[in-house]
Amino acid sequence: MTLRKIAHIGHPVLRQTARTLTRDELAQPETQRFIDDLIETMRDAHGAGLAAPQVYASVMICAIEVRDNPRYPYKPEVPLTVLVNPVLELLTDERFDNYEGCLSVPNLRGVVARATEVRVRAWDRHGQDIDTVVKGLTAGTYQHEVDHLYGKLFVDRVTNPATFTTWSEFELHHKADFVARARALVARYGS
């Protein structure tokens, strides 16, 4: 496996709609090696997820995993999930204010209103169908990662620029309140 460089805001690859893959392309050894690299890079950077465009590959693949993550200790665990050609369907009008950050937008966080429940349809890394519903904070993580596949960054979804903060200022002024709200959401949805 190879650690890949993470693209930062301003690079054009982050603003492109990624291309879908066929099952034949997905089965290719080079695609499977890429998925391994994506996962290893996500873990090394302590991300809750990582999308292919973030490592300069404009294809519809993202990985999500949360387990003992020092960047997000309040997030519930999410087993390693690879989504290929994902489509999300928002199942509710209810939103929660999620203080988001991104490996492609270093040292910046901002509040994004995310749906509390989404249906996810995709393939796994072996081309098997995924059709599941995710809720709560986990739904926010899925929405964030799939946004990358359509050229969207969390900064595009922040409606109040006054919520932008550096990580250190978030820790000092906003974390306690946000974590309390996040834990209430996790208690409500279990995720």
Residues with a catalytic annotation lie at 145
Token pair in block for residue 10: 């301003």
Q: How far is CA 100 from CA 6, 77, 85, 157, in A?
A: 17, 17, 23, 10
**Rounded-to-integer distance, Cα 69 and Cα 76, Å:** 10
Tell me the C-alpha to C-alpha distance, in Å, between residue 57 and each of 1, 3, 51, 161, 169. Answer: 16, 14, 9, 29, 32
Q: How far apart are CA 6 and CA 138, in angstroms?
A: 23
- Give the span between the Cα atoms of 85 and 65, in whole angstroms: 18
Contact 131/33 with Cβ under 8 angstroms?
Answer: no
Name the region of 190 (left: φ>0; alpha: ψ -120 to 50; beta: rest).
Answer: left
Can you say whether residue 104 is alpha, beta or left, with left for phi > 0 and alpha for psi between -120 and 50 degrees? Answer: alpha
- Measured between alpha carbons, how far is 33 from 14 in angstroms, rounded to an integer? 21
